[in-house]
Amino acid sequence: MDRIDSMALFVRIVESRSFTRAANELGLPRATATLGIQQLENRLGTRLLERTTRQVRPTVEGQAFYERCTNLLAELEEAEAILSPVAGNPRGVLRVELHGTHASHIVMPRIDEFRALYPRLELVVTTGDRRVDLVGEGIDCAVRGGVPGDSTLVSRRLAMLPQVICASPGYVTRMGLPDEPGALRNHQAVRFMSGYSAADTKLDLVIDGELVSFETKGWLTLNDAENYVVGGLRGCGLIQLPRFHVEAALERGELVEVLAGWEKPHLPIHVVYPHRKQLSPRVRVFVDWLVSIYEERFGGG
């Protein structure tokens, strides 16, 4: 194993905290990964990793070496892309995490267009509504809603999505339509829980330029965006979400807009990726493509 390969292996072990996961991601036998790190430590004359039965973590020297390795590998990839006969057409594996709704409604319907632009890239796309650990799970970038809360990630805004509050006709027949914001407190709402955070029990409006949240009642909590919509369709309560997700259901009359004359806050959508001195060409072209398709669909972010 040459120096570059051993550095790449070391970086993935540190980020995944596992020899086995790192070896699998790089397509190496576990024994080869172990031998590669042993040879690297022997060459450097220092111990880079602390191994326990539960996890692997870098030593003080290993952490310093990891930080230099990530910069060097990123710069190497950048240099190769610049000098490549097919500049701007990167190759390799790109790992992307997408919110399920954004995957099925926005990105995947146009993924063949990205393939036509960058045929040497292999994409591994995972979806869901949980917040993944990008570094720990080896994810290159992710699309997330809301305000970025992780200062270790670089974020680029893709769009500001108009939101809507709505309910099924059956719910409206049973409970009535709220005629003013304060009436929301007397209504049921389907609650959404993201990752391990507490369920959101509020519905939000913008009143006189200020965000105002209204506490609601509710008996159903979900952590999946598609089933959140199903809960609304089945009359389980009011739901609040980006309009594009339920536009067709509103047009068909399967959902009814609530407090249509009152402003709802827009939901910011960002693409985030781990901080690097140099941004990988693989990530750069995908981020730029995301910016373009979101701008076409929703206007500038």
Segment 200-235, tens digit of pLDDT: 889 999 999 999 999 999 999 998 899 999 999 999
Tokens 């001195």, residue?
A: 277
pLDDT tens column, 35-93: 999 999 999 999 999 987 778 999 999 999 988 888 788 778 767 666 655 446 787 78
Say whether both 258 and 174 belong to one domain.
yes
102-138 burial, b at 16+ Cβ within 10 Å, e below that, comes to bbebbbeeeeeebeeebeebeeeeebebebeebbeeb
Residue 87: the pLDDT is: 47
Residue 90: the pLDDT is: 81
The mean predicted confidence, pLDDT, of the chain is 89
The total of other beta-carbon atoms located within 10 Å of residue 236's CB is 22
Say whether both 170 and 257 belong to one domain.
yes
Please give the model's pTM, rounded to 2 decimal places: 0.74
When divided into structural domains, the chain yields a total of 3
- Final residue before a domain boundary, out of 31, 59, 83: 83
Query: What string of DSSP letters covers 59-108?
Result: -HHHHHHHHHHHHHHHHHHHHHHHHSTTTT---EEEEEEEEHHHIIIIIG
Say whether both 195 and 212 belong to one domain.
yes
pLDDT tens column, 104-141: 999 999 999 999 999 989 898 998 877 777 877 778 89
Q: What's the whole-number mean pLDDT along residues 176-194? A: 93
Say whether both 173 and 150 belong to one domain.
no
Say whether both 129 and 142 belong to one domain.
yes
Residue 278: the pLDDT is: 56
Range of the domain at 277: 92-160+268-298
Say whether both 185 and 140 belong to one domain.
no
